[in-house]
């Protein structure tokens, strides 16, 4: 069964993730803060050939900036109020029907937005969605770490993913952006693993990493059926926290574990 069919049949989950519902808490963070990521040679892929992103290589990308935090419900609502973004197609989870509109979850990441809605928000901000290699460069850092925080295996102190829902006082669901200091990158980018999986700008090509030439600027796919999603989510397994892990769904897809952040060229 192809990914488009799966997305239509299971509209609220990502492949490989177990379904949960509800949750969240507020925090004082703003996705208008940005972090500069140095361009040049960056590590991408993995030497584990069981993943579609193998093999590991160093490619060249330009310097850019990326949002330190995922876009929140309140920030997306501002775009809706300005008439530049359509509202999320679904406003909440089973146990939190007012997730998008409640002040309690104002600082939690927006969900149920399509790739088009994410792009509209970034354009309103004078930004754009990050390319998938920009996203990976931000997550891996100069040392090519396999997780945003380094190479240590995921725990609930580093990332918010499936099993962490059962140990959080606030219960099941997304956390406020920037809640896990230990999970931030060395440069100060939060929630690149867990919380919300994130749309990127690029079309998905399953064989893309095999086409990369060491030390050269990659050629991005010009067309496709699905867009790349990165970062795992609050109800995904721990193996989805890997910085090189790729997912793909049609740009009209929307889910309770998919949000986004923006980037800009320098």
Rounded distance, CA 94 to CA 25, Å? 16
- What is the pLDDT at residue 210? 87
Q: What is the pLDDT of residues 119-165, one digit of tens each?
A: 999 999 999 999 999 999 999 999 999 999 999 999 999 999 999 98
Which of 193, 216, 217, 219 has the alpha carbon at shortest distance from 207? 219
- Whether the per-residue pLDDT at 5 is higher than 60: the answer is no
Q: Tokens for 9?
A: 């049949």
Q: H helices of 177-225, where? A: 208-211
Q: Give per-residue pLDDT as tens, 209-241.
A: 889 999 999 999 999 999 999 999 998 999 999
Q: How many angstroms from the chain centroid is the CA of residue 123?
A: 17
pLDDT tens, 127-140? 999 999 999 999 99
CB of 261 closer than 8 Å to CB of 231: no
Per-residue pLDDT tens for 245-257? 999 999 999 999 9
- Other C-beta atoms closer than 10 Å to the C-beta of 155 total 14
The CATH number covering residue 15 comes to: 3.90.1580.10
Please check whether residue 44 is in contact with residue 212, taking contact to mean a CB–CB distance below 8 angstroms. yes
Task: Give the model confidence (pLDDT) of 46-78 as tens digits.
Answer: 887 666 667 889 999 999 999 999 999 999 999
* Cα(125)–Cα(77) distance, integer angstroms: 13
Helical ranges in 115-214 per DSSP H:
115-124, 132-140, 208-211
For residues 26 and 34, what is the distance between their CA atoms, to the nearest angstrom? 20
Residue numbers of the domain that contains 10 = 1-266
3-state helix, strand, coil in the chain (%, to 5): 20, 20, 60
Contact 227, 250 (CB under 8 A): yes
For the chain, percent of residues with pLDDT exceeding 70: 85
**How far is Cα 23 from Cα 13, in angstroms, rounded to an integer?**
16
Q: Is the pTM of this model over 0.85?
A: yes
What are the tens digits of pLDDT across the range 27-39? Answer: 344 447 999 999 9
> How far, in Å, CA of 147 to CA of 232, rounded?
11
H-type helices in the chain, by residue range? Answer: 3-9, 73-81, 115-124, 132-140, 208-211
Number of structural domains in the chain: 1
């Amino acid at each position: 069964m192809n990914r488009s069919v799966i997305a239509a049949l299971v509209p609220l989950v990502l492949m490989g993730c177990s379904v949960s519902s509800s949750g969240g808490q507020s925090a004082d963070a703003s996705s208008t803060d940005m972090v500069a990521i140095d361009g040049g040679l960056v590590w991408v892929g993995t030497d584990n050939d069981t993943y579609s992103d193998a093999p590991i290589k160093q490619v060249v990308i330009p310097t850019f900036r990326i949002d330190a935090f995922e876009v929140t419900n309140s920030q997306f609502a501002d775009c809706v109020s300005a008439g530049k973004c359509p509202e999320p197609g679904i406003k909440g989870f089973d146990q939190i029907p007012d997730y998008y509109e409640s002040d309690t979850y104002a600082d939690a990441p927006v969900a149920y937005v399509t790739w088009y809605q994410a792009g509209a928000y970034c354009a309103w901000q004078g930004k754009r969605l990050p390319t998938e290699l920009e996203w990976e460069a931000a997550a891996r850092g100069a040392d090519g770490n396999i997780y945003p925080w380094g190479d240590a295996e995921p725990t609930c102190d580093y990332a918010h993913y499936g099993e962490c829902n059962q140990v959080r006082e606030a219960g099941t669901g997304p956390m406020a952006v920037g809640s896990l200091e230990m999970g931030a990158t060395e440069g100060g980018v939060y929630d690149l693993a867990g919380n919300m999986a994130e749309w990127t700008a690029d079309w998905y090509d399953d064989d893309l990493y095999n086409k990369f030439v060491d030390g050269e600027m990659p050629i991005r796919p010009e067309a496709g059926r699905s867009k790349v999603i990165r970062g795992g989510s609050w109800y995904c397994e721990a193996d989805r926290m890997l910085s090189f892990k790729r997912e793909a769904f049609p740009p009209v897809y929307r889910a309770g574990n998919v949000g986004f952040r923006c980037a800009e060229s320098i």
